[in-house]
C-alpha cells in the first residue's frame, strides 16, 4: 500500500510547481528578469510552466519507480497529467492576471 502522506506531498509539490510561474516575476522563482520592464510576458510564463510540468512528471515517475515496478503508461496518462497540471495552475493564473489588478490596483 502506498503511503497517503507521500501522495499528498506530491500533489502539494505539483500545485506549487504549477503556480510558480504566475506567482512571481522571477524566472523559476530564482533568476530576476531584468530584460522585461513590465514583468514576465505570458509566453515566458508558459515556457516556464512547461519545464516545471516535466519536472513534476519526472518526480512522479521517480516516486512510482522507487515504490516498485513502474506501470507502463499510454498517451492518455500524459494528456490527463497535463490537464491536471493546468487545473492546478488556475489559482496562480487568476492571481497574476485578474485578482492582483482588482485587489492591489496594479
pLDDT at 52: 95
Nearest to 21 by CA among 46, 4, 56: 46
Cα separation values, 60 from 40, 47, 49, 63, Å: 28, 20, 16, 5
Domain boundaries of the chain, sorted by first residue: 4-104
pLDDT at 85: 94
**Per-residue confidence of the chain (106 residues) as pLDDT tens digits?**
678 899 899 999 999 999 999 888 888 878 777 777 777 888 988 999 999 999 999 999 999 888 887 888 899 999 999 999 999 999 998 988 887 777 776 6
pLDDT at 106: 60
Mark out the alpha helices in the chain (DSSP H runs). 4-23, 42-66, 75-88, 90-94, 100-104
pLDDT at 8: 93
Provide the 10 A C-beta neighbour count for residue 51. 14
pLDDT at 30: 81
pLDDT at 39: 77
> Quick one: cell of 89?
495552475
Nearest to 60 by CA among 92, 84, 90: 84
pLDDT at 47: 93
pLDDT at 104: 74
Amino acid at each position: 500500500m502506498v503511503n497517503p502522506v507521500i501522495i499528498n506531498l506530491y500533489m502539494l509539490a505539483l500545485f506549487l510547481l504549477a503556480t510558480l510561474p504566475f506567482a512571481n516575476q522571477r524566472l523559476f522563482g530564482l533568476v530576476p528578469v531584468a530584460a522585461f520592464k513590465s514583468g514576465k510576458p505570458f509566453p515566458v510564463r508558459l515556457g516556464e510552466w512547461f519545464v516545471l510540468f516535466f519536472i513534476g512528471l519526472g518526480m512522479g515517475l521517480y516516486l512510482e519507480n522507487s515504490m516498485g515496478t513502474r506501470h507502463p503508461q499510454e498517451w492518455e496518462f500524459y494528456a490527463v497529467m497535463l490537464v491536471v497540471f493546468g487545473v492546478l495552475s488556475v489559482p496562480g493564473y487568476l492571481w497574476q492576471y485578474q485578482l492582483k489588478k482588482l485587489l492591489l490596483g496594479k
